[in-house]
A and B are shown apart, each in its own frame.
Chain A
């Protein structure tokens, strides 16, 4: 047995507001998104029997279930960084297929932008707060500490090994901004050129400011149900056709190959389950924590050969009107990115498959590939979705 068509996504939504939301807690954003996703599905909260979330600290799903007033029979706080929600979808489908639950609610909410102004958040929960962790011994004392600081080192190795250029990375930022200009919910909608990207300050060389994702406040949620329950929802089901997940390291010094991600492991699992290949995908949503994340994942997902990601994205190929619709929401680079973007990849893919995307709709999209990435290219969750 595989999970092919064993579950469907029937509801997706953001919180009522996304972007800069100073007057709401992270929990409220979870709840707003949950309400909106259940409404999108036409399912009452009382039917929810499984809860999935990540990113709140400890006992995430227990906290969210209490806050929402849900007593689940399946609970999952899997936290693998930004890819957590792709993992959750596969886990939900497996639990549904095993008959343990019927209606799974996956929620997300973070207020990382507004938290910067909050005095009680100024003492951050440092990655290196516990001295008896390997990263506190062998990485933190050498000046690591931010995602850009480490992604830049992976990008640099790719540039060295394959001749990838800063201009090619900028192509991704520019194409993604063009999609954002078609999404009224996107935070950054001003025109952006390759020169703008290359002239923006360095955050961590070789990555410029516009190579890096936003930091926003936002919530998102999705509802995953059994095939039987999917027949009676408000909107047509979006089927899970394939799923794969893996992780290879938590620190860059343990990364088996700096130019590869665990998407290289997860993608073949998802393609095999779906009985499809990269050439069959109509729309692709890849976690764009950084422009480089997208470039390397395009290779690992099999859309081009290893080392050819730079050439692949050149000439604005992934922009609206190009032949490879990618990150059609405007992505973490221009639409929203509250800390973990994985949920918003799912939301956009489902909307594309339903034909709900207005000016940014990819005409006739029947299949979508989602690639969530977490940590420092640590984890990857690949989902392949399709409609009837």
Chain B
């Protein structure tokens, strides 16, 4: 991991998730899609966890969704996150129907600033030269 740009552990892409991570580097949120079920699934596997067919397509997601749930983290067991508290972890539901765990960024860690159901959009953070990770942020009113 040369040129690390974070104090956090940088993910080492799993082989079956490489298209996802390669997409992130290009600022594209790619999701695994099962042509048989005609639906997306999460997380990346070389097969569909519903029908167990081993034909997976990668499709670019809109990057938009809504906040499904969140929590404001005041204690970090992982020392890498100690100086980040309080921060907001969230599950977002994408327009494509899948739910992703994410860090909610560009958002004050205050309950009155966060609303379940509010629109969110993907924003990419470079963790190193090799690895870029998708975070989500609230969609600002003027952009909607």
Contact = CB atoms under 8 A, between A and B. Distances in A.
Contacts, number: 113
B81 interface: yes
A251 B127 CA distance: 23
Interface stretch (B7-15, B32-40, B52-60): B7-15
Contact of A141 (B75, B84, B116, B133): B133
A132 B14 contact: yes
Interface in A106-152: 124, 126, 128, 131-132, 134, 136-146, 148-150, 152
Contacts of B99: 253
A136 B117 CA distance: 27
Nearest to A149: B73
Contact of A204 (B10, B14, B68, B71): B71
Contacts of B73: 143, 149, 152, 204
Contact of A205 (B14, B43, B72): B72
Interface string B85-111: 011011100000001111100000001
B71 A143 contact: no
A258 B91 contact: yes
A128 B135 CA distance: 19
Interface in A287-344: none
Contact of A152 (B71, B100, B102): B71
Nearest to A152: B71
A137 B101 CA distance: 10
Interface in B109-144: 111, 116-117, 127, 133, 135
A145 B91 contact: no
B14 A137 contact: yes
Nearest to B15: A132
A127 B8 CA distance: 15
12 contacts: A131-B9, A131-B14, A138-B101, A141-B9, A142-B133, A143-B103, A145-B76, A145-B77, A146-B76, A157-B69, A160-B116, A204-B75
Contact of B81 (A145, A153, A201, A251): A145
A355 interface: no
